A and B are shown apart, each in its own frame.
Chain A
Amino acid sequence: MSERAALAIRSPSSARAAGPAKSQLKSSLPAPFLKALAKVVGRRFLLQADEERLVYESDACLLMKAIPDAVVLPNTTEQVADVVKLCRQHQVPFVARGAGTGLSGGALPVKGGIIIGLNRMNRLLEIDTQHHTALVEVGLVNVWLNRALAPYGLFYAPDPSSQSACTIGGNVAENAGGIHCVKYGVTSDHILSLEVVLPDGQIVWLGSHNRRSHGLNLVGLMVGSEGTLGIVTRVRVRLLPLPQYRHVFLAAFDTVAQATDTVSAIIAAGLVPAAMEFMDAFTIRAVNQAFGVGFPENSEAVLLIEVDGTEQEQVREATEQLRPILEQFQPSQIRVAETEADCATLWKARKSAVAAYGRILPAMYVHDCVIPRSRLTEVLTRMEAIRQEYDLIIGNVFHAGDGNLHPNIMFHPNDPDMIARVLKGGEAILQACLEVGGTLSGEHGIGIEKSEFMDRVYSPQDLEKMKSIKQVLDPLHLCNPDKIFPTPRCCGDSGHHGHGQIGTSQTQNPDTEQRTFGKPFEPSTQTDGEEGLWI
């Protein structure tokens, strides 16, 4: 995250840097606009009170905040469209939001305006067991869908760690991945069609029941566009037969290199496990101390590798193929969980990592970057040097099979010096990833968190081409504005300056130098990783 993005984001009418002073929270939206919004969604579902709007001031990354001028909670696509038309009519920026589990500030109203909360649109409209598809509204929670599908022997594959809370719409916006995407692919691989409210309020269906594109692939463009090209309201997803059997390997290693070399060897051998997760020594010990999980305490790294299938024989064969590769790298221990209960225990332990971190320091910056899988050893070594240089506390638990790193940098929210080091160290880690051919994000998105780093990945021409898409679909720049792309730094830069602007420099806004966070993180309440932050 850039220093700039980490500053408390200020919306023109609702700055929040040194606490929620009521005068600062005052909304400046025109009364006729608010009246019209209330008419569309009903007064009950237009939130204007300070305490109601504060709920929406951040996503799961507490380093970035921006309070909306109002929040609307529509219940139908038509209501969303009417709200968008009103925003267009009154030139008010709008940002769609799901469960708020994002980690890149993608759903923050950095230019003010309204948040369109889609949580009421959470209906599972259809499970088509014949065609293996489901039609859902975007507010449906990921895991609810899978619970509903299980009796039919089907599942929806993308499983971000936040799946107990995150919504399908949020998954579409960020092109979410998850633990099992190494085998099953990311969200875009499982979306057949989308209903979208365009930035001008028109409603359109994109895609078909077949993955073949009919004309340009607008579904592929829309997925992962972070809600900047329109608001997705309904989604037809592709379903897969639920694997009936699985084994989970736990392989512990004395060195990080042994573990990462194992990952490379598995990839090179052409094996495609259902999941391949890495935990470093810090995480192993944190999880053991917090929950008594019993991961090999003296190991420097643990790999959790799942193989699955619809027949037992299939899983047994995959297990036989995997074991000799693992043994080649001389793990200090290999355990194989063969029962469903044992497998679930191992995965719960993995998911409890974040909660375990919460016992060490109350807040955490969850990074997300991707590197070529063969460079894991090199980058983790570099990361250790960065950790020492900036005196950081970093826990690594990540999707090794995809090369998708999640360095979790812990900090105390009331320690500005520590936060500064976290930001600088985080940036150094990002740079290390880029230098080996990596990229800024694998599943969390760019949002405002990394928008200032986009020019390290793409040339100005590359970025202009992306921006031209935004220009085509949202010429007024009202639809989740100022996300993804770097914002102009000086008056000479081109840029659209409308209803407000992203947080400016510290010299211009001295109050933003003091990062004061609301309620401190309370680790004692974090007993289960599924209830905390997710990675």
Chain B
Amino acid sequence: MDLATLLPPLSHAQLEAAQLPAHIQQPWAMTAPEEASSASPTQGWRWQPTEASQVASLLHLAQTHLLQLATHPTDAAQLSPPLWLDLSAIKQVLEYDTADLIVKVDAGMTVQDLQTLSASHGHQWPFTAAADALISDILAEERPSLETGLRGWIRERVLGLEIATPDGQLTRCGGRVVKNVTGYDLNKLYVGSHHTLGVLTKATLRLVARPTEERHWLLGFDQLALAMAAAQDLLDSALRTQLTACEVFSQGRTAGIAEFGETLAEHRQKPWQLLIAAGGQAQELQRLEQHIASRYATVTQSGRLQPEWARSLKEHLSIPPKNNLVLEVALPTRPWNLFENLLEPLQFDKVPRRIDEKALPGFSDVQLRPAAGLAWVLWEADRCPEPDAFASLFYGAGSLQTRVQTLGGFVQLLQVPTRLHTGFLALVESLNLPGDPLVRELMLRLKTSYDPHGILYSSRLPLRPDTSLITAATSSSTL
């Protein structure tokens, strides 16, 4: 196979000049744009290295030739050429310490594989994610899950990382112990960095023991306020320690999934629902169930979910529908009812029509995670016809951002449907980076230090290097 066709737009000569190791010239699985089906999310040129050192070499190659690349195919669609780095073939288990509940894995491993592995040892990764999600992406996005807040934050479970940077190096930070102040805590910087400083290639993670028993309940409510009050009651109780999820969501959020059985039909018909998940000893869960039954007898007949339904529901709720625009609101975790007062600006049909002649319908769904102070506001893409959606969203999101900031929080775009992608990039930039110019500048300076030519692209964290800093940075003395 002609290598030049595998790695466009690089020629043989360029590859040779880059002095890539021999293994990089293997014909990797790859999909050329013209070969991909139009429905496939994997359009573009895909580089699929099989080990971490190849990632470093490829990043260096990209930097040498000033090729931008993304770690997600939808991001790659914004690039020319559309180039994405697929880490899914780097998926070895490097170490499993059963006594310390620690696992070191290649970052291309899927969450499902990690869960299967850890379950065989009586352990678990305490955060639900899409089964095919890669560890690399979960960490790079610090993607919130249903358990976030109640079982900590992902960054607290990361003990060590390896990262490939555009200068072609693989560097490590952290270690494999649960407490570590040896040098700067770069784990914290890299987790949530969206691969914009470097690509995460290995991770040492701290697992938890699998609970003896897990139970799930689904309760329906007529009003958001009632559902939030129920969540608040649980989170304020001593039973909180057993909770692993406490999620409030609008009815439409689960419309696409199968029926959970007769007994739950009553709850699912309600406009607002509360998913409660808990793990622990049987007696502890019994007390929790009694507590729920005693407080919500009027709404619960038998709200307990079968394990397989619960698993399905949790995974469904962990992933926003792909065709939805998702705005994430981060607020103080208390009081829980803050969210209720904030949703009005997003009811676009109530927005003053000073921008558009046409108003948009309100959001499609809402999902609230009070233990983490997070909420997702979702719009189906079909309900966002451009350009009306664009202008209205700017207005609504900007208004919401202002209100949220006064409370100490912030708003960011978590997901933009591919169809709307280009038009929303400016909005992403205005929302997903902090408003304070000095904070932005600090981030840009770090980006410039790691990736001076801006080859690592993420639409979610649109940091572009400050080219004015490059000369200064490279000419100043090292430590």
Contact = CB atoms under 8 A, between A and B. Distances in A.
A132 B172 contact: no
Contact of B436 (A205, A270, A373, A374): A205
Contacts of B450: 468
Interface string B190-217: 0111001100000000001111000000
B284 interface: yes
B258 interface: no
Interface in A400-418: 402-404
B434 A214 contact: yes
Interface in B326-340: 328, 330-335
B156 interface: yes
Nearest to B99: A374
Interface residues of A, number: 92
A267 B208 CA distance: 9
Given A210-B331, A216-B446, A374-B97, A439 B173 contact: no
B163 to A, nearest CB: 8
A466 B446 contact: no
Contact of A370 (B153, B177, B436): B177
A439 B473 contact: no
B408 interface: yes
A269 interface: yes
A492 to B, nearest CB: 13
B432 interface: yes
Nearest to A494: B478
Contact of A439 (B182, B189, B241): B182
- The interface size bin for chain B is 35 or more
Contacts of B180: 370, 439, 441-442
Contacts of A209: 331-332, 373, 407-409
Contact of A311 (B153, B238, B461): B238
Nearest to A128: B332
A291 B172 CA distance: 46
A220 B211 CA distance: 30
Interface in B427-442: 432-434, 436, 438-440, 442
Interface in A139-191: 174-175, 177, 181, 185-186, 188-189
A212 B144 contact: yes
A9 B308 CA distance: 64
B184 A216 contact: no
B179 A461 contact: no
A188 B195 CA distance: 22
Interface centre among B238, B287, B328, B407 (most CB of A within 10 A): B238
B119 interface: no
Given A210-B333, A471-B476, A465 B173 contact: yes
A317 B407 CA distance: 39
B238 A370 contact: no
A321 interface: yes
Contacts, number: 259
B443 A370 contact: no
B226 interface: no
A475 B477 CA distance: 8
B442 A443 contact: no
B155 interface: yes
B375 to A, nearest CB: 11
B410 A204 contact: no
B330 A188 contact: no
Contacts of A463: 183
Interface in B260-293: 281, 283-284, 287
Given A212-B373, A495-B479, A462 B171 contact: yes
Contacts of A465: 165, 169, 171, 173, 186
A472 B445 contact: yes
Interface string B93-122: 000011111100000000000000000000
A212 B330 contact: yes
A132 B446 CA distance: 32
B409 A217 contact: no
Contacts of B315: none
A310 interface: yes
Contact of B449 (A204, A229, A472): A472
A372 B410 contact: no
A475 B155 CA distance: 28
Given A267-B101, A370-B179, A372-B100, A215 B443 contact: yes
A210 B375 CA distance: 12
B373 A210 contact: yes
B175 interface: yes
Given A214-B434, A217-B155, A459-B172, A446 B333 contact: no
Interface centre among A175, A181, A219 (most CB of B within 10 A): A175
A404 B432 CA distance: 38
Contacts of A177: 179
B334 A458 contact: no
A57 B195 CA distance: 43
A356 to B, nearest CB: 25
Contacts of B98: 268
B57 interface: no
Contact of B186 (A370, A466, A477): A466
Contact of A317 (B188, B283, B476): B283
Contacts of B142: 212-213
A458 B183 contact: yes
A332 B448 CA distance: 60
Interface centre among A132, A216, A402, A457, by most chain B C-beta atoms within 10 angstroms, is A216
Contacts of A468: 449-450
Contacts of A49: none
Interface in A29-81: none
Nearest to B211: A270
B185 A372 contact: no
A107 to B, nearest CB: 15
B193 A216 contact: yes
A445 B461 contact: no
Most buried by B among A264, A267, A444: A267
A131 interface: yes
B224 interface: no
B133 to A, nearest CB: 18
Nearest to B169: A461
A485 B479 contact: yes
Given A441-B181, A454-B182, A477 B479 contact: yes
Contacts of B432: 214-215
A132 B333 contact: yes
B141 to A, nearest CB: 10
A149 B92 CA distance: 48
Contact of B189 (A220, A370, A450, A494): A220
A443 to B, nearest CB: 6
B3 interface: no
Interface string B316-330: 000000000000101
B219 interface: no
B176 interface: yes
Contacts of B184: 221, 224-225, 229, 466, 469, 484
A459 B175 CA distance: 13
Nearest to A177: B179
Nearest to B461: A215
B412 interface: yes
Nearest to A311: B238
A131 B335 contact: yes
A133 B208 CA distance: 28
Given A466-B183, A469-B189, 12 more contacts: A132-B333, A175-B185, A210-B374, A212-B330, A215-B461, A216-B463, A372-B97, A403-B178, A437-B175, A472-B445, A472-B448, A473-B442
Question: Which 4 pairs between the two chains have the least Cβ-Cβ distance?
Answer: A270-B209, A220-B188, A209-B408, A374-B99
Interface of A: 130-133, 174-175, 177, 181, 185-186, 188-189, 193, 198, 202, 204-206, 208-221, 223-225, 229, 264, 267-270, 309-311, 313-314, 317, 321, 370-374, 399, 402-404, 437-446, 450, 454, 457-459, 461-473, 475, 477, 484-485, 494-496
8 contacts: A210-B332, A212-B144, A214-B432, A219-B188, A225-B184, A441-B180, A466-B173, A466-B184
